[in-house]
Structure 1
């Protein structure tokens, strides 16, 4: 009959709290359950991480002030000792509270719904011989499941070479050994085909975890996993925390994808969490992509990740013909679609085949500009240009959502000589409809379609209900269309000049991934890439199929500039609604970090390797963030860079604990940032 409970809450508080279970009964345990508590003057949800009949040592206050819980939310535990251990690691690695870590891991539903597996069939759906494996595939499966304990693997090959089937066969082998499997996909709406494949293969043994589920549905799936009813979990980023009993394998599909990195605290990367779980349990981790991250490629080259290569497209297709179109030589009156791309679209439609047009920018045009005074309209809350949405007749910020009516004259000087530069998916849609009036056209971006509508729209294109699909990165990955012949990348340069060290990597991956949609079933696929920079490394390599050369040169550049994978990093963003406060915090934070690093270097008994790492650690900044203002918050940053993530984390941890943050201001800490914008 445990009377005292150790409880943590979802707040940035690096401590636990003692509560009383006034209604404790013999044999009852509340460990692993969520409880409804009074926290200060607020009602809060807490997580019970331990319990005891005795008062905690060093309580620090009168035991009579210990509050009783209001009630237990769960009838049975929703997390285990293993979950708590993983949360403690997450808390330490990403410098967040234990309550914040548990909150991102455990579903938020108050009660279970009768939801079960999105309509999966029964266990009879498990089949071992879904299709014949190629020799390359068979070798990969055997290498993954028959290799040394705890070895990490990478399944590398162009799109359409059968990576999904290798993942499913490896999962089958793990299940046959009585083990559980976690299968991660980047964005659930874009990988419906993977979900369907898992559902068809594993039936009721499969569970799905993703953001489209209600909290109650998510809790139902979570409890199916805990009970062992569901032994393979497929889901997006947070599914990496699934409490799978006897976990035997983790799969990360499209490992390079940026959506595996959380954009809010705790800012974890699912790949890092998966590596930790697999190393701790001594089980295989298998990742896969046609465009591995630069870090993964370097680890493969160094032999720290075992590479398995697939080279042959299996559905009767071939790698598409890729051509680069230099837009600087085009007639400016042609619009966003070059003469060559227009001709190829016409030929594709004449053959009753389909085309995809890709542009990584929403809206009608990029920015408003006055030709008289040079004024550019930027968001009042963010330091970014506003984008015109012609149907709404409004300029909108894609960071905070603020919008204004489309101006008829310059707000600065009153001139009528105004214009718009650049173009987005809405602009292209209008142009395409004008040039191909008989074509059935669908636009996919977050302005035109909701996540719930996306699977049906993609399925409609697959069934041939649309002739041309155009959109943003939604159309660039994870999709498989039998009748697709032509892919057009309208402007390949969009992200190339972003002030971020991963800009080249992202550009190469996007072009390669969207090009991979073509030619998967027929050997006549074509890809046309429009660009103003045809000689830029990522564009030239992506269009010419020079994958190894891109990675070699990009790794060489990263080594010269000192960026990952040749260093580890942390980004500290100081933000406030006051520009002066943000800048002052960053200055004070920089001074404090310098003192912290000096004191760490002077400490006695430091191993030589750690001392060397400290000497090589840099404090870059403070400086304005490239996006200096977002959602009315001014942003300044400091980058910590060095060879040891342990040194960097300790510096960041001491800063966060030792710096008194002014009211209405924040410090965001991002360990291993995916971007420094």
Structure 2
């Protein structure tokens, strides 16, 4: 009787075996109902064999093999196998997470047919600049090539993507476009649909309803959808005619999954392009240093867009305001306030950027020193004055704002610091005639709200925008001519060695919102450290100079991309439990058998307590990626043999972005 080897969505590094009289080798890649424990699960048939190392009478009988879809293809299994091997994840987790939730349900609810969307009006492509034409011509139509499209903000990177997509469609192929944020998907979908009105364009992201996501996934898998737009999980979508992959804003940390299988969608996309022998384009105005190093080493082809696509638009003038000798009102200097007033007089829009939502970062009592700390995390609870709540932005715990200090009863408790809500209130008070619009995760929680906000901005119904990084990338507001940046200094002295790279990218991205049309743009960055080289590079729009200096420092310090890292993390009710486990893992004999791998001492994580769990970590690194990859599975298997307390959880993360 045929033996099915089935992948289940479990954190176990093995397949489960069942017998099935109806199975054939053609069923590999189909879903199947199987008994598991006292219930049933939906699994994926990874192999059909004739024999098993177990006696056949000991194997359970599989249930129905679901044949409503064709089998998943071999390249899908190869992609998931690579991800599971490289990121030390369980095969079942990888294979099953790539399927929409509806395909993993035992009982499938009745689905309503999706409503047909309105066909957008066709839009003619704009004329290409010389650099855009050169970039398009440099990307081969066939065969694997990794291409870095390095273009300043407003240089027309999206138009390059669209022309390359057009070329792929003309040859009968599909295109996959990955974006870092869900809120970037609707406007890109609108633009792509308008350019290709006769093609089926679908989106795949977590904000879609379950039925819509499954419907779009099925259309992509069947080859009915020619263009797929999605966030990081879309990289695993099986596409039978895939001919082009685009990763927009490739530097964005949102492409790295931070739970479950901790993978980088950008890196998986590069592997997938290599696997299928197709071109991939990584686009950014501020590439990640790893990608930039690959381009400098000629592993990636570099395509340059050094000027804005609109011939009447120029890069904004960037000025650094030294706030050491200035009196600030709610964090805003008088020169910035005067610049906002000038834009109001001219009927132009301004953006005041503060990457901290809420009213204030903390509520405190000046009498006894009490502060609004989260009882579940090593973090403060943020004051949200609009709804009178204290909220932890890490674990989500919240409660009402106390009327008096919980410790001493003092009723004179104050907010300290500022967030976007407090800044919005001050801006409205300072400019009562202005229409002020705050844009952050508290004011924009759904796709519909986001689309409404964008419509208001484009219609000129907002004079001053107060926002976080939601407004920093990918948006084109023709009337926006001033960007003021508050609170940039905190990242200059962060313990995270990636902080300068992230700060530079954030400043360049938000600065790029200004002056994208014929109106000239200006950027004012407030800082107490105006002589910092990072601000000099921002003023000069000099990413290559900044990247060269950062890579030199990383090479001297032995940081990626000049070394390769993984981290073992443990979470437990007590820190001693987590650290003891990490010490035991570090002392395993396998750690002494791989000379090219360095194992560091275990330490608490930067956020040492999260959601009532104490967290520790242990970093391992090697100058050789193959050496690290050879070590990790051996180490993981040895760790799995350790006796671990039932309340402790652990995982390995490869190429970590945070510590």
TM-score, L = length of structure 2: 0.93
Indicate yes or no: 2:272 matched with 1:288.
Answer: no
Superposed displacement of residue 675, structure 1? 1.6
For these two proteins, the number of residue pairs brought into alignment is 648
SS at match of 1:495: helix
Instruction: Give the one of 580, 592, 614 matched to 1:634.
Output: 614
Instruction: Give the one of 434, 459, 463 matched to 1:463.
Output: 459
SS at match of 1:395: strand
| Separation in structure 2 between the aligned mates of residue 153 and residue 199 of structure 1, nearest angstrom | 24
Superposed displacement of residue 205, structure 1? 3.4
What residue is the counterpart of 2:361 in the other structure? 366
* 8 Å contact kept, 2:25–2:48: no
User: Which moves more between the two structures, 35-44 or 108-117?
Assistant: 108-117
* 8 Å contact kept, 1:570–1:649: no
| Separation in structure 2 between the aligned mates of residue 219 and residue 409 of structure 1, nearest angstrom | 50
The 3 A distance-change label for structure 1 pair 379 and 651 is farther
SS at match of 1:322: strand
| Separation in structure 1 between the aligned mates of residue 30 and residue 431 of structure 2, nearest angstrom | 59
| Separation in structure 2 between the aligned mates of residue 411 and residue 184 of structure 1, nearest angstrom | 48
Offset from partner CA, 1:103-142 (integer Å, 9 cap, x none): 22122214695666982739x96x8x61211111111001
Indicate yes or no: 2:147 matched with 1:153.
Answer: yes
| Separation in structure 2 between the aligned mates of residue 281 and residue 119 of structure 1, nearest angstrom | 32
* 8 Å contact kept, 1:120–1:200: no
Instruction: Give the one of 244, 249, 254 matched to 2:244.
Output: 249
What residue is the counterpart of 1:623 in the other structure? 603
SS at match of 1:119: coil
What residue is the counterpart of 1:184 in the other structure? 178
Superposed displacement of residue 513, structure 1? 0.2
Instruction: Give the one of 111, 116, 119 matched to 2:117.
Output: 119
Offset from partner CA, 1:53-89 (integer Å, 9 cap, x none): x3x331x2x4233323343455123622221111111
| Separation in structure 2 between the aligned mates of residue 244 and residue 489 of structure 1, nearest angstrom | 42
Superposed displacement of residue 372, structure 1? 4.7
* 8 Å contact kept, 1:113–1:220: no
SS at match of 2:216: helix
Offset from partner CA, 1:267-311 (integer Å, 9 cap, x none): 110111111111222221111111111111111122211111112
The 3 A distance-change label for structure 1 pair 561 and 412 is farther
Instruction: Give the one of 610, 626, 650 matched to 1:667.
Output: 650
What residue is the counterpart of 2:535 in the other structure? 539
SS at match of 1:109: helix
Offset from partner CA, 1:450-474 (integer Å, 9 cap, x none): 1322122122211212222212110
Indicate yes or no: 2:408 matched with 1:425.
Answer: no
What residue is the counterpart of 2:545 in the other structure? 549
Indicate yes or no: 2:75 matched with 1:82.
Answer: yes
What residue is the counterpart of 1:175 in the other structure? 169
What residue is the counterpart of 1:591 in the other structure? 587
Superposed displacement of residue 532, structure 1? 2.4
* 8 Å contact kept, 2:352–2:464: yes
SS at match of 1:64: helix
* 8 Å contact kept, 1:570–1:671: yes
Instruction: Give the one of 32, 40, 44 matched to 1:43.
Output: 40
What residue is the counterpart of 1:8 in the other structure? 7
Indicate yes or no: 2:513 matched with 1:517.
Answer: yes
What residue is the counterpart of 1:609 in the other structure? none
* 8 Å contact kept, 1:7–1:16: yes
Report the aligned-residue RMSD: 2.4
Indicate yes or no: 2:502 matched with 1:506.
Answer: yes
| Separation in structure 2 between the aligned mates of residue 229 and residue 21 of structure 1, nearest angstrom | 32
| Separation in structure 2 between the aligned mates of residue 114 and residue 78 of structure 1, nearest angstrom | 24
What residue is the counterpart of 2:58 in the other structure? 65
What residue is the counterpart of 1:34 in the other structure? 31
| Separation in structure 1 between the aligned mates of residue 523 and residue 354 of structure 2, nearest angstrom | 14
SS at match of 2:102: coil
Instruction: Give the one of 469, 491, 494 matched to 1:495.
Output: 491
Offset from partner CA, 1:534-556 (integer Å, 9 cap, x none): 22333332233232221111111
* 8 Å contact kept, 2:582–2:617: yes
What residue is the counterpart of 2:626 in the other structure? 646
What residue is the counterpart of 2:255 in the other structure? 260
| Separation in structure 2 between the aligned mates of residue 113 and residue 650 of structure 1, nearest angstrom | 46
Indicate yes or no: 2:189 matched with 1:195.
Answer: yes
The 3 A distance-change label for structure 1 pair 513 and 169 is same
| Separation in structure 2 between the aligned mates of residue 335 and residue 214 of structure 1, nearest angstrom | 40
| Separation in structure 2 between the aligned mates of residue 537 and residue 9 of structure 1, nearest angstrom | 51
| Separation in structure 2 between the aligned mates of residue 154 and residue 365 of structure 1, nearest angstrom | 40
| Separation in structure 1 between the aligned mates of residue 158 and residue 140 of structure 2, nearest angstrom | 15
Unaligned runs of 5+ residues in structure 2 are none
| Separation in structure 2 between the aligned mates of residue 312 and residue 120 of structure 1, nearest angstrom | 35
What residue is the counterpart of 1:223 in the other structure? 218
| Separation in structure 1 between the aligned mates of residue 381 and residue 279 of structure 2, nearest angstrom | 46
What residue is the counterpart of 1:605 in the other structure? none
SS at match of 1:545: coil
Superposed displacement of residue 144, structure 1? 0.7
* 8 Å contact kept, 1:320–1:523: no
SS at match of 1:363: coil
User: Which moves more between the two structures, 269-278 or 237-246?
Assistant: 237-246
* 8 Å contact kept, 2:390–2:399: yes
Offset from partner CA, 1:495-542 (integer Å, 9 cap, x none): 333321210011000010001001000242111112222223333322
Instruction: Give the one of 265, 273, 282 matched to 2:268.
Output: 273
| Separation in structure 1 between the aligned mates of residue 528 and residue 370 of structure 2, nearest angstrom | 25
SS at match of 1:323: strand
| Separation in structure 1 between the aligned mates of residue 507 and residue 40 of structure 2, nearest angstrom | 49
What residue is the counterpart of 1:389 in the other structure? 384
The 3 A distance-change label for structure 1 pair 528 and 350 is same
SS at match of 1:496: helix
Indicate yes or no: 2:471 matched with 1:478.
Answer: no
* 8 Å contact kept, 2:150–2:284: yes
Give matches, 1:91-130, under 5 Å.
Answer: 91-110=84-103, 113=111, 119=117, 121=119, 130=125
The 3 A distance-change label for structure 1 pair 583 and 120 is farther
Superposed displacement of residue 196, structure 1? 1.4
Unaligned runs of 5+ residues in structure 1 are 602-613
SS at match of 2:219: helix
* 8 Å contact kept, 2:155–2:305: yes
The 3 A distance-change label for structure 1 pair 415 and 618 is farther
Superposed displacement of residue 565, structure 1? 1.0
What residue is the counterpart of 2:201 in the other structure? 206
| Separation in structure 2 between the aligned mates of residue 215 and residue 669 of structure 1, nearest angstrom | 30
| Separation in structure 2 between the aligned mates of residue 490 and residue 339 of structure 1, nearest angstrom | 13
